Amino acid sequence: MIGLGPRGCVVGDRSKYRSRLQIVADVLTAAGKGARKTHIMFRCYLSHKVLCKYLDESVRADLLRVHGSSEPVYVLTDKGKLFLERFFEYSERRRQMEQSIKNILSDETTLEQMVRSCEDH
């Protein structure tokens, strides 16, 4: 299930690697109304190198804005807010779809077992 973790980052099933979109959402969520690079890095569990890549990408995409130069603060833009809204909607639809597929596969297994039971008699 997708939600906000204890540090304010978006979290899903921790047994899987995060997707590129999930990491972008984590970075944007951590930046929120303003955060320094180190703060975002620790909240999102990213290395400095990986964080810089995602921050640069997010700034170029106008999802984040940088304030200041010596100690830059990253702030979510309106486009960044829209991205997060759409990401949460997408994540929920995806979760529901994955659950539906799981249910269908379970039904298939049950049907296969029923056929095998008939063959045994």
CATH number of 3-92: 1.10.10.10
d(CA 96, CA 1): 10
Please give the model's pTM, rounded to 2 decimal places: 0.77
End-to-end CA distance of the chain: 42
Q: What does the block give as tokens for 90?
A: 């997408």
> Which own/partner pairs from 15-23 qualify as long-range (CB within 8 Å, at least 24 positions apart)?
21/87, 21/90, 23/50, 23/54
Express each pLDDT in 37-71 by its tens digit.
999 999 999 999 999 999 999 999 999 999 988 88
Note down pLDDT in tens along the chain; length 121 residues.
445 554 455 544 544 689 999 999 999 999 999 999 999 999 999 999 999 999 999 999 999 999 988 889 999 999 999 999 999 999 999 999 999 999 999 999 999 999 987 766 6
